Structure 1
């Protein structure tokens, strides 16, 4: 089964939400909502380019050093469709810098902040088809907020520039993928902007759609939702996960939200940044079943169950 070999992240210096009030055009009420209600405090921001941020994350991967020749695929997981101005290609810059010129390179997108989990599934599929038990895939997750559209989701979250690098193997004896589910409740015209109409629809379906993919991933893993030991969500806001915990019948303390106030919502890198933190804290025991889950613009929902 697809396995996580190593995960690293780069978290830039942070700025307070209050310092972003003028740049984002927030009023006082919105600042209070984001900080007091949603639990956001500081947001990762960096003057570095997207490629430099991704390299900073990948260079911390101990499992990559000396194993570069085993990397068959470099997969860029993008929360946004466009993450750099044409003709800049951050993923190719990263591949060259890391010395992975022989690796096939591709990007996955259009699942919004659920794209990181899609990239995990794509990596597992490619490695299984490759047939080489020693092959590896490197996933690069996270986005640079280089346009006003990418800096915040109105009345929902503020985006950070933390990045994650994930090394994936076709099989392993820990952190193996047991179940994955993804659903798109999008529009035929492909519009993802949160217009009042789309935002209303997104709020209406959000919790039920999230519960459906969590249930589907758990079923594929052969467990029930109550059997999940820890949830590593994307850091959208505290309220959404408080409601989700009640809707899923899980206690609030099973949701790891400690990074939410410290990083902001770092697109599809969040679950992996959270994974690195909980492993460093020793919060996962051998055999624990943990859930990575996320929702993205365009009403895309995903959940993945792994066994530590």
Structure 2
């Protein structure tokens, strides 16, 4: 059994109004209005004074259960959307592991599923711990990146990326946030730049994600009526309004409060929404919730996880 023992999220206090991004991102007035009025974006978070290692360290600092337990951490995994995030030979993941006293852990990064790589990292952490054979072993999963280029900051016509980071302490026997099912569909027919396949990707986006969500719920031996909450990837609001209509699920049970104030945070959205759900008292002990993510890079990946809180 994979369980999230602790989840910590760092989101910068510095926010940039959407209009201020028009010039650096090359957006027209019409495109800005589209993002604001149709997609529901308002501000985007950035931390211009912090490096990627700083972002990850800030997220890990919020996990009280890590202090004094460093020797139990066997694996550190960074779920990342972008294949390259810093110039060679820097390695921000190794930097933060040294700072946290985790240099002994087996450390690696997964990027194969783009913005769905965070869920992949959680699944891998659980599988590695299960195969380790030590019930006291832990894994630390990081997500988060810097929005360092225009291509890294903009998903044309769909969303704008911000900055932040999350850290999750994973075990095999935690008392809450236990993983019940993980469904993933990878479609390699979409190349990294999409090109002529973009229209097909747009058409298949919601049906493909809906199918994966249904599969995860079924594998957990539940129905959507049993899902108290959906923690989405924060691509935009209208996508989730239409997706909820497709699966006949109440949109007011999807945590969308972070879309206007965060933007789309690389692989961090699900964990930021988890924090919001707890802060707002939306999850009670025993509730089932679904986490969803889509990655678009070397192909398209649709992922969903079902947890019991």
| TM-score w.r.t. length of structure 1 | 0.97
Partner Cα separation in structure 2 for residue 198 and residue 113 of structure 1: 19
Q: Is the 8 A contact 2:55 2:144 kept in 1?
A: no
Shift of 1:38: 0.6
Shift of 1:155: 0.5
Question: What does residue range 114-193 of structure 1 map to in structure 2 within 5 Å?
Answer: 114-187=116-189, 191-193=191-193
CA-to-aligned-CA distance 1:213-271 (integer Å, 9 cap, x gap): 11111111110123211000010000110011011110111110001111100021100
Q: Secondary structure at the match of 1:40?
A: coil
Match of 1:113 in 2: 115
Q: Is the 8 A contact 1:84 1:146 kept in 2?
A: no
- Cα RMSD over matched residues? 1.1
Gaps of 5+ in 1: none
Shift of 1:291: 0.5
Partner Cα separation in structure 1 for residue 176 and residue 58 of structure 2: 25
Q: Secondary structure at the match of 1:82?
A: coil
Gaps of 5+ in 2: none
Match of 2:210 in 1: 211
Does 2:15 match 1:14? yes
Shift of 1:191: 2.6
Does 2:264 match 1:262? no
Give the total of aligned pairs: 305
Partner Cα separation in structure 1 for residue 144 and residue 198 of structure 2: 23
Q: Is the 8 A contact 1:14 1:43 kept in 2?
A: yes
Partner Cα separation in structure 2 for residue 63 and residue 39 of structure 1: 36
Shift of 1:198: 2.5
Aligned counterpart in structure 1 of residue 101 of structure 2, from 88, 96, 99: 99
Match of 2:304 in 1: 303
Match of 2:85 in 1: 83
Partner Cα separation in structure 1 for residue 198 and residue 90 of structure 2: 32
Runs of 4+ in 1 over 3 A off after TM superposition: none
CA-to-aligned-CA distance 1:68-90 (integer Å, 9 cap, x gap): 11111000100111122222211
Partner Cα separation in structure 2 for residue 155 and residue 85 of structure 1: 29
Question: What does residue range 31-70 of structure 1 map to in structure 2 within 5 Å?
Answer: 31-47=32-48, 48-70=50-72
CA-to-aligned-CA distance 1:131-164 (integer Å, 9 cap, x gap): 1111111011011111221011000100010111
